[in-house]
């Protein structure tokens, strides 16, 4: 009945030398994480010396990592390791909001914020962005959205800000958003999937009540793994203990990431802390790259000057080429592939996003040359 299973035995990852996909840039493993993956690969290996609570395991030093290192790193009173940012958002919403409540979400939010709210039975009021070309999220938009929800007689029990968003790489004014939300008594959750592990982010300094991070997106960890941090006030409810099962946290279903992904997060952590100190150079590189792309006729969207490695481009010139190119709208994907570059979704030409994170100026130069060559080659023809 079960035939042809051979194909599952040896699956190769066929990817190009330079991968520009924003999803991929921050999750490339360090050598230490790669070693941890091998050492701790077996099923439930981390549980060898567990006395019943994953985040209290002393060997490997999970307890120190979760209860001492991460709270300092995130600026949160309590932190737990989650399966990812989305699972962190759902856990916070499920614990803190009642079905039928309203949650206020920035218009640039990742789709998983919407799904987390939908799964928790919440209604959504959006804070619209300013639209093209900046797509900025204004702090006052939060007060307007909260007031709109109130007009529906809604109870607004949480607000979420995506920092940066995953389309334009915009870093909104978190402190101002937090102030607005707090004026209404609404706690603010910061989605740091594209920031924590790339740039300095401190929940306490930014004034946010909760924060989620992504290990596979931005902390050089093997997915799925992420973080949920909260201030004492909200941590009490989110990380509440079971009424009947001693020491087990209900919202975490006891233990969350009981395997190798957690070990890769820990093993990469020293290198992640180090790389965050080079963030200004990452921003400079992104700005330089965006400026060079504009010289080739593309137009950068989102904040200018840009403050993040995730960059969105409009490319009317590439779209025009796609109208007559032999391979149609797939020409860009294929022409970049031939030059050892991937990460822009197949079929996209008129607008796309990419990330410069962790790529050297030499590598980015190769990308710029590739775009230049491709554009010139069709101009000739």
Residues 292-331, interacting with a copy of itself (CB under 8 A): none
Q: Is the dihedral of CA 296, 302, 308, 311 positive or negative?
A: negative
Tell which positions 12-41 bind a copy of itself, by CB under 8 A. Answer: 12-15, 19, 21, 23-24, 26-29, 32-41
Closest CA to 201 of 179, 226, 171, 178: 171
CA atoms of 283 and 232, how far apart (whole Å): 33
Tell which positions 43-82 bind a copy of itself, by CB under 8 A. Answer: 43-45, 47-48, 59-61, 64-65, 69, 72-73
Nearer to a copy of itself, 90 or 312 (CB): 90
189 is a contact residue toward a copy of itself (CB under 8 A) = no
245 is a contact residue toward a copy of itself (CB under 8 A) = yes
204 is a contact residue toward a copy of itself (CB under 8 A) = no
111 is a contact residue toward a copy of itself (CB under 8 A) = yes
Specify whether the CB–CB gap between 50 and 248 falls below 8 A: no
Specify whether the CB–CB gap between 88 and 96 falls below 8 A: no
- Residue matched to tokens 């006395």: 51
| Exposure b/e, 311-333, CB count within 10 A at least 16 = b | bbbbbebbeebbeebeeebbbbb
Helix pair 85-96, 111-119: axis angle to 10 deg: 30
Nearer to a copy of itself, 138 or 166 (CB): 166
Nearer to a copy of itself, 28 or 132 (CB): 28
Specify whether the CB–CB gap between 30 and 271 falls below 8 A: yes
Nearer to a copy of itself, 27 or 138 (CB): 27
9 is a contact residue toward a copy of itself (CB under 8 A) = yes
Task: Give me the least distance between CB of 1 and a copy of itself, in Å please.
Answer: 6
Specify whether the CB–CB gap between 238 and 230 falls below 8 A: yes
Closest CA to 350 of 310, 323, 377: 323
100 is a contact residue toward a copy of itself (CB under 8 A) = no
Task: Give me the least distance between CB of 316 and a copy of itself, in Å please.
Answer: 24
Nearer to a copy of itself, 250 or 296 (CB): 250
213 is a contact residue toward a copy of itself (CB under 8 A) = no
357 is a contact residue toward a copy of itself (CB under 8 A) = no
The H or E element that residue 251 is part of is none
Task: Give me the least distance between CB of 312 and a copy of itself, in Å please.
Answer: 18
Nearer to a copy of itself, 7 or 153 (CB): 7
């Amino acid at each position: 009945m079960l035939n042809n299973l051979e194909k599952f035995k040896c699956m190769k990852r066929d990817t190009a030398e330079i991968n520009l996909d924003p999803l991929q840039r921050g999750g490339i493993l360090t050598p230490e994480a790669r070693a941890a993956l091998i050492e701790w690969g077996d099923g439930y290996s981390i549980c060898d010396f567990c006395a019943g609570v994953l985040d209290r395991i002393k060997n490997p030093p999970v307890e120190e990592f979760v209860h001492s290192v991460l709270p300092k790193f995130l600026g949160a009173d309590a932190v737990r390791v989650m399966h990812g940012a989305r699972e962190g958002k759902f856990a916070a919403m499920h614990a803190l909001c009642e079905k039928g409540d309203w949650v206020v979400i920035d218009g640039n939010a990742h789709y998983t914020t919407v799904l987390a709210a939908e799964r928790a039975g919440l209604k959504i009021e959006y804070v619209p962005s300013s639209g093209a070309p900046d797509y900025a999220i204004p702090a006052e938009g939060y007060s307007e959205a909260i007031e709109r929800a109130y007009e529906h007689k809604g109870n607004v029990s949480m607000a979420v800000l995506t920092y940066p968003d995953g389309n334009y790489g915009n870093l909104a004014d978190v402190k101002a958003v937090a102030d607005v939300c707090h004026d209404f008594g609404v706690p603010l959750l910061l989605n740091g999937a594209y920031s924590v592990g790339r740039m300095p982010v401190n929940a306490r300094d930014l004034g946010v009540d909760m924060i989620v991070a992504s290990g596979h997106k931005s902390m050089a960890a093997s997915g799925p793994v992420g973080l949920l941090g909260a201030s004492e006030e909200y941590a009490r409810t989110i990380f509440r203990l079971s009424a009947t099962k001693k020491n087990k946290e209900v919202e975490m279903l006891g233990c969350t990431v009981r395997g190798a992904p957690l070990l890769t997060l820990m093993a990469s952590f020293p290198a992640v802390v180090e790389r965050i100190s080079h963030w200004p150079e990452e921003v400079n590189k992104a700005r330089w790259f965006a400026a060079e792309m504009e010289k080739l006729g593309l137009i950068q969207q989102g904040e200018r000057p840009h403050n993040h490695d995730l960059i969105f481009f409009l490319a009317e010139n590439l779209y025009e080429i796609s109208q007559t190119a032999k391979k149609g709208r797939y020409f860009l994907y294929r022409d970049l592939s031939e030059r050892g570059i991937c990460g822009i979704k197949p079929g996209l030409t008129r607008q796309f996003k990419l990330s410069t994170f962790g790529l050297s100026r030499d590598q980015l130069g190769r990308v710029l040359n590739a775009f230049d060559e491709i554009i010139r080659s069709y101009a000739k023809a």
